[in-house]
Amino acid sequence: MHTTIHEMLRANPRAADKAIPKLLSDCADTCSECELACNACADACLAEQQVASLRRAIRLNLDCADVCATTSRIISRVIEADSAAMAALLRACAAACAACASECEEHAPHHEHCRICAAVCRRCQQICELALHQHFSS
Amino acid sequence: MHTTIHEMLRANPRAADKAIPKLLSDCADTCSECELACNACADACLAEQQVASLRRAIRLNLDCADVCATTSRIISRVIEADSAAMAALLRACAAACAACASECEEHAPHHEHCRICAAVCRRCQQICELALHQHFSS
Amino acid sequence: MHTTIHEMLRANPRAADKAIPKLLSDCADTCSECELACNACADACLAEQQVASLRRAIRLNLDCADVCATTSRIISRVIEADSAAMAALLRACAAACAACASECEEHAPHHEHCRICAAVCRRCQQICELALHQHFSS
Amino acid sequence: MHTTIHEMLRANPRAADKAIPKLLSDCADTCSECELACNACADACLAEQQVASLRRAIRLNLDCADVCATTSRIISRVIEADSAAMAALLRACAAACAACASECEEHAPHHEHCRICAAVCRRCQQICELALHQHFSS
């Protein structure tokens, strides 16, 4: 994926004294992609004949989509973000992605949308963990 | 404030075996109120003559609004939420509320909107911390 | 419901020359309440034994929750909002509430959460239509 | 930009009888990109020395970001969306993008972030109008 968020963060007047690591703009992009994938996976699960066996997947999809949405927004204002809130949010996002990925992985053999969604969630979990360790751990 | 969220959570078919504590529906309500207050405070700060001195307040208002929005949504699906994600999110929400409250408190003597907003943020911080300790700490 | 949004809008420095009608802060509150009710109804529907017959209710609940969330946020910055966007959004919100209410009304005899949710959606539809006609129609 | 949303929509079990036009998944992607660009532009405007002259840009950025966020989410559940709500929302999104683009275009000669943001908003406006006319006009 290639969006304009990296360019935007570099155009911030504060970026001269405080460079925004590429990792953070990648993290915002991935969270945003994961949000859409999870929302679409919830909808595809709802449309499956065996919807009853996909209840937990749908719930975790919706939670993951919401946490990812907020994480990408907060990163887009990262230059003066509160680091305690940022760190806790990256932890919440990694945890929501991990929970959703684990559940979708179980359904991946039967449902292509769960397979794709699980892969996006794992990528998102990893980049959130990396961003947390490289930029927000004390 | 009194909304329908408590009634809704009690009407969940799972609520019979797993009662939703009133504290959690109150927390969802308070997060939702805090989201609106922070968005309105950001807008009021923007309209002030001394907007340049309110930059940090505006940023923290926006971050707090986003984290509160997601927290209230996740709580509305709390019955099967992933507890690690829920705990980290409540921590993120308490931290975002604390950061926003501290900043708005400094402007409270001059701006009524900052005074009201700081008070809502403190209430929201406290209920998130309480919900965290009573229901999601191991 | 009684939240701080009305107080906040009155504390905006622009409110002196441009009073924010109480109807608009009530509309923001109702949208916010409707967002939480719809998210909780989606979750309760998912937990029902007959989840397969509630697919459409769940989808419309989620759409309605998202449109209500954005409408309440935009109203919290109403003083300088673009009126074309505001009017179209109020129309979208009334339509999403109407669609969700119609569907939930069909399930209301069997599910208390659908009954409560439908009632909140109808109230939200009406206040959005009123706000549209009184403040944003040309 | 290339995300997984198109793949996800094709993997929906309903997609066999009701193909999701590529235009709609592109629209979801563009809305999502525009949301991040607008949030980052608001933050960069806030950091400019002449923040007072950028008040209107910041407000319209925030409104545009919120409407885009909801539009991309609703499209990710498009297969059974209510068409009246979908059409009104695409209209609201095109209007919010147009208002934000017009304002940012005025600041584009001085601020790179406004130039980039205006371009993304215009693209987003156009794809929303196209999606509206091709798929949701009666």
pLDDT in tens, A75-110: 998 877 889 999 999 999 999 999 999 999 999 999
Query: What is the percentage of chain C residues whose pLDDT exceeds 70?
Result: 94
Give the DSSP H or E segment for C70: helix C55-75
Is B76 near chain C, with CB under 8 Å? Answer: yes
Asked whether C64 and C38 are in contact (CB, 8 A), the reply is yes
Best A8, A41, A80 residue to mutate vs chain D (most D CBs within 10 Å) = A8
* Predicted local distance difference test score (pLDDT) of residue B81: 80
- ipTM passes above 0.90: yes
What is the Cα A44 distance to its own chain's centre? 19
Rounded CA separation B3/C122 (Å): 15
- Distinct helix (H) and strand (E) counts, chain A: 5, 0
Q: What is the DSSP string of chain D?
A: ---SHHHHHHTSGGGGTSPPPHHHHHHHHHHHHHHHHHHHHHHHHHHSTTGGGGHHHHHHHHHHHHHHHHHHHHHTTGGG--HHHHHHHHHHHHHHHHHHHHHHHHHTTT-HHHHHHHHHHHHHHHHHHHHHHHHS--
Lowest-pLDDT choice from B55-59, D5-9, D58-62, D99-103: D5-9
Asked whether B68 and C4 are in contact (CB, 8 A), the reply is no
Looking at beta carbons, which residues of chain B come within 8 Å of D42? 62
Chain A: touching chains (3 or more CB pairs < 8 Å): B, C, D
The Cβ of residue A82 has, within 10 Å, a number of other Cβ atoms equal to 24
Q: Could you tell me how many CB contacts below 8 A there are between chain A and chain B? A: 79
Using CA atoms, how far residue B136 sits from A71, B120, B130, in Å, is 21, 23, 10
Q: Buried b / exposed e across A91-110, counting CB within 10 Å, b at 16+? A: bbbbbbbbbbbebbbebbee
Instruction: Name the amino acid, one letter, at C44.
Output: A
Kindly indicate the confidence band of residue B1, based on its pLDDT and cuts at 50, 70 and 90.
very low
Give the DSSP H or E segment for A69: helix A55-75
Q: Please name the member of D42, D43, D51 whose beta carbon is closest to the beta carbon of B52.
A: D51
Domain spanning D4-136, CATH architecture: Up-down Bundle (1.20)
Q: Please name the member of B47, B52, B59 whose beta carbon is closest to the beta carbon of D43.
A: B59
Instruction: Name the amino acid, one letter, at A45.
Output: C
Using CA atoms, how far residue C35 sits from C87, C120, D107, in Å, is 19, 9, 36
CA nearest neighbour of D32 among D11, D53, D8: D8
Is D89 near chain A, with CB under 8 Å? Answer: no
- pLDDT, averaged across chain D: 92
Is B12 near chain A, with CB under 8 Å? Answer: no
Q: Buried b / exposed e across D44-76, counting CB within 10 Å, b at 16+? A: bbbbbeebeebbbbbbbbbbbbbbbbbbbbbbb
Closest-CA distance of chain D to residue A1, Å: 5
* Predicted local distance difference test score (pLDDT) of residue A32: 96
The answer to whether D59 contacts B46, with C-beta atoms less than 8 Å apart, is: yes
Judge whether residue C1 has pLDDT over 70.
no
Long-range CB contacts (within 8 A, 24+) of D43-46: D43/A12, D43/A76, D43/A77, D43/A79, D43/B59, D44/A8, D44/A11, D44/A12, D44/A13, D44/D111, D44/D113, D45/D107, D45/D111, D45/D113, D45/D114, D46/B55, D46/B58, D46/B59
Query: What is the percentage of chain A residues whose pLDDT exceeds 90?
Result: 76
Rounded CA separation A118/B88 (Å): 21
B21 DSSP assignment: P
Looking at beta carbons, which residues of chain B come within 8 Å of C5? 33, 36-37, 40
Q: What is the mean pLDDT of residues C59-75?
A: 97
C21 DSSP assignment: P
Asked whether D27 and D43 are in contact (CB, 8 A), the reply is no
Rounded CA separation B27/C14 (Å): 31
C17 DSSP assignment: T
- pLDDT, averaged across chain A: 92
The residue in chain D having the minimum alpha-carbon distance to the alpha carbon of residue B50 is D52
Boundaries of every domain in chain B: 4-136
Q: Which residues, 6+ apart, have CB-to-CB distance to A23 below 8 Å?
A: A127, A130, A131, A134, A135
Rounded CA separation D24/C40 (Å): 28
Residue A92, SS3 per DSSP: helix
The answer to whether B88 contacts A92, with C-beta atoms less than 8 Å apart, is: yes
Q: What is the mean pLDDT of residues D75-103?
A: 93
Closest-CA distance of chain A to residue B97, Å: 9
pTM of the model: 0.95
Long-range CB contacts (within 8 A, 24+) of C105-110: C107/C45, C107/C54, C107/C57
End-to-end C-alpha distance for chain D, whole angstroms: 30
Judge whether residue D47 has pLDDT over 80.
yes
CA nearest neighbour of A60 among A10, A15, A118: A118
The answer to whether B11 contacts C44, with C-beta atoms less than 8 Å apart, is: yes
Judge whether residue C54 has pLDDT over 60.
yes
Q: Tell me how many degrees the CA angle A67-C54-A120 measures, rounded to the nearest 5.
A: 30
With tokens 């991309």, the residue in question is D72
pLDDT digits (tens, 9 = 90+) for A104-135: 999 999 999 999 999 999 999 999 999 999 98
Closest-CA distance of chain D to residue A69, Å: 8
Asked whether C76 and B39 are in contact (CB, 8 A), the reply is yes
Q: Tell me how many degrees the CA angle A90-A96-A99 measures, rounded to the nearest 5.
A: 140
Chain D: touching chains (3 or more CB pairs < 8 Å): A, B, C
Q: How many CA atoms lie within 13 A of D5 on its CB side?
A: 33
Q: What is the mean pLDDT of residues A67-74?
A: 97
Asked whether C34 and C68 are in contact (CB, 8 A), the reply is yes
Q: Please name the member of C60, C63, C82 whose beta carbon is closest to the beta carbon of D96.
A: C82
Looking at beta carbons, which residues of chain C come within 8 Å of B17? none
Rounded CA separation B82/C9 (Å): 36
